[in-house]
Structure 1
């Protein structure tokens, strides 16, 4: 496990908010895809707020957000964390990074769910650092 100093620092304008999925995800997806398709996107992640863990950052000044959440159906043998970005300009973008997954049939073998989640958070924090260079 890497030390805290190896992890990127999140710019101060981004606030962590992990308690519930922000309503802006659902609103943007419905506007973009319609309610029926949006409800199934990423295995219903943005509608049911049931799959845990999540990590989420919000930039209130921009109305932008970044989410790390489980994007695969619970029945799949391979589970995966996805990164989703809601830019200030609107919409929702799937951020393509290293794949952060684990296997339900071998939950104690590496990569575990906890390892995959920690790696996905590192990818998200790196994304926020890069994104701030373009704002």
Structure 2
């Protein structure tokens, strides 16, 4: 297993903010899709702020954000973490990476929810590192 020092470092301009989903997500989705469709996007992740755990980074200089959150409905037997990016120029984009999922019928069989969340965070941190190369 690799140590934390082997993992990509998140650029300092990206601040971790996991306590609540930023209003930026709801605002941008409503502009793009309208409030009704936006409220259902990613199983309501951006409107109900109830699906945990989440990991979120915000770049105030760019007004950009990145979120790791559960994107599937709670009733599904396969749960999955998605990565969502709100770029500086506006909008919301789902970042396609390795699938980070677990099976609720076998919660202790790898990959577990913790395994999937850890892997999704690593993907998000790698994405932020690459994204900063473009600025």
TM-score tier by shorter-chain length is: over 0.9
Alpha-carbon distance in 2 for matches of 1:112, 1:57: 23
DSSP 3-state at the match of 1:122: helix
Aligned pair 1:8/2:8, yes or no?
yes
Task: Please give the TM-score of this superposition, normalised by the length of structure 2.
Answer: 0.99
Structure-2 residue corresponding to 1:74: 74
Q: Structure 2: which 5+ runs fail to align?
A: none
- Residue of structure 2 in register with 1:130 after alignment: 130
Q: Which runs of 4+ in 1 moved over 2 A?
A: none
Q: What's the Cα RMSD here?
A: 0.5
Aligned to 1:115: 115
- Could you tell me how far apart the structure 2 residues matched to 1:43 and 1:72 are? 6
Q: How much does 1:5 deviate?
A: 1.0
- Tell me the residue number matched to 2:55: 55
C-alpha distance in 2, partners of 1:44/1:86? 17
Residue 95 of structure 1 aligns to a residue whose secondary structure is strand
Q: Secondary structure at the match of 2:45?
A: helix
Cα distance in 2 between the residues matched to 1:42 and 1:130: 25
2:31 is the alignment partner of 1:31: yes
SS in 1 for 2:98: strand
Structure 1 unaligned blocks of 5 or more: none
Count of matched residue pairs? 135
Q: Is 1:19 matched up with 2:19?
A: yes
Q: Displacement of 1:2 after TM fit?
A: 2.5
Provide the C-alpha distance between the structure 2 equivalents of 1:13 and 1:126, rounded to a whole number of angstroms: 15
| TM-score, normalisation: structure 1 | 0.99
- Aligned-pair distance for 1:6? 1.5
CA distance in 2, matches of 1:74, 1:2: 31
Q: Indicate the SS of the match to 1:76.
A: coil
